[in-house]
Amino acid sequence: MLASDEIKNRDIVVVSQQPWDTDIGSTCKNIAAEFSRNNRVLYVNNALDRRAWLKERAEPKVQKRIAVIRGKEKGVVNIQPNLWNLYPNCIAESINWIKIRSVFDRLNKRNNRLFARSIQDAINELGFKNVILFNDNDIFRPFYLKDFLKPDISVYLFRDVMLGVDYWKFHGKDLEPALIAKSDVCVTNTEYIARYCRQFNPESYRVGQGCNLDMFRIPEHKVVPIDMADIPGPVIGYVGALVSLRLDVEILAHIATERPDWSLVLVGPEDGVFRDSRLHHIKNVYFLGTKRPDELPAYINMFDVCLNPQVVNETTIGNYPLKIDEYLALGKPVVATKTEGMSIFADDTYLAETKEEYVTLIERAMREDNAGIAKERRIVALSHSWENMVKAIYRVINDFSARRRSMKAK
């Protein structure tokens, strides 16, 4: 019998790297909102850390957390029906700089204990029972929550390879496998990550990825952004953070120098490597800077071909590239670096293994593009909805719960 893709009238506690009041889009916030359609959900912000208390206390978000810690404001805030946000009433010590593992572990357990106590108080206040604990890709802060909260089931969502980032690397290389192993089930957005998780926990499954695509619609008429009005076509473009950990400067430089008749448009904030790169000295490369999320569709609509020129490393090789769905939702042809994470889009994009292939595939993408293919691309993107992702998570939970009941009955 197939597992049901519905869970209703359950109590779910969600912890994440990203607090609810984050200024950027959040996979976990969207998942929590989808959970709350039929369940009660408590979304937990991370605890205020000592460094922020000392150095960022003038910031409004830090002031809010301090007010909760001092008992001047309530920590549990109702966001919408069935969905609450918790500001923990504790301070977490800033400990990631500690390299002695035993000392780090002891202090991390203390941080977790205080964090769990605040969550348990909120659980009691809301009357939650037999909770599902859902951890969105946070390794350190919720490491001991299963031990302290004793949920009915614990779920770890692994959607980004964190160990390629310096902050997570030193302690994460040991704690991440241990967290995967101690979770009841792990869910991932790519098969590459699911295989990695199965080394430590056989209950690891790919559930896909959801996306917010309401803004990304194929327009009847293009709206030309002011700073693109004088850029000649054809336009080859990228939208997103220009970060050297993830993007290959040399691929972009090769495209621009090999085809000076193309305009290479890059929309997004730059890291130091990009700011100092030779791209700024190539006359057909245009850096347009950071834009509001609601402005991005207008820029993408001006592109003849969209790019995702990733560096292949441990951070990018298996990660799900969300921007591909945004490009496809607008019907655009996409040329991207061939990685295992991109394999889900193999039939709908052009995948390059070398910088030379990028030029060839961009030419092919422009040549083959038409309105019919554009509509097909949009259908593919829209299938990657939050509803479908959460249904897949529910199936994993229900299947695990059914097998656990069966084993107990024996």
* Residue 3 pLDDT exceeds 80: no
| Position 1 confidence tier, pLDDT thresholds 50, 70, 90 | very low
Rounded to the nearest integer, the mean pLDDT of the chain is 92
Whether the pLDDT of residue 145 is over 90: the answer is yes
Q: pLDDT-based confidence at 2, cuts 50/70/90?
A: low
The sheet that has 350-352: what strands, in order across it?
285-289, 263-267, 235-239, 305-308, 334-337, 350-352
Measured N-to-C along each axis, helices 355-368 and 249-258 cross at an angle, to the nearest 10 degrees, of 60
Q: Which domains does the chain have, with CATH numbers?
A: 11-210+385-409 (3.40.50.2000), 226-382 (3.40.50.2000)
In 3-state terms the chain splits into helix, strand, coil percentages (rounded to 5) of: 40, 20, 40
pLDDT tens figures, 4-49: 889 999 999 999 989 998 876 678 999 999 999 999 999 999 999 8
Structure-token pair, residue 299 = 């820029």
Least confident stretch, 117-121, 214-218, 342-346: 214-218
CA atoms within a 13 Å half-sphere pointing along the CA-CB vector of 41: 26
Residue 278 has pLDDT above 90, yes or no: yes
Least confident of 55-59, 103-107, 313-317: 313-317
Predicted local distance difference test score (pLDDT) of residue 25: 65
Our measurement of the distance from residue 285's CA atom to the centroid of its chain's CA atoms, rounded to an integer in Å, reads 28
> pLDDT over 70 for what percent of the chain?
99
Mean pLDDT of 74-103: 94
- Pick the closest to residue 42 from 12, 18, 19 (CA basis): 12
Q: Band the pLDDT of 408: cuts 50, 70, 90.
A: confident
Whether residue 188 is predicted with pLDDT greater than 90 in this model: the reply is: yes
Report phi then psi at 141, rounded to 5.
Answer: -65, -35
pLDDT for the residue numbered 387: 92
Q: What pLDDT score does 24 carry?
A: 67
Q: What is the pLDDT of residues 325-335, one digit of tens each?
A: 999 999 999 99
How does pLDDT run across 100-127, given as a tens digit for each residue?
999 999 999 999 999 999 999 999 999 9
Rounded Cα gap, residues 144 and 151, in angstroms: 12
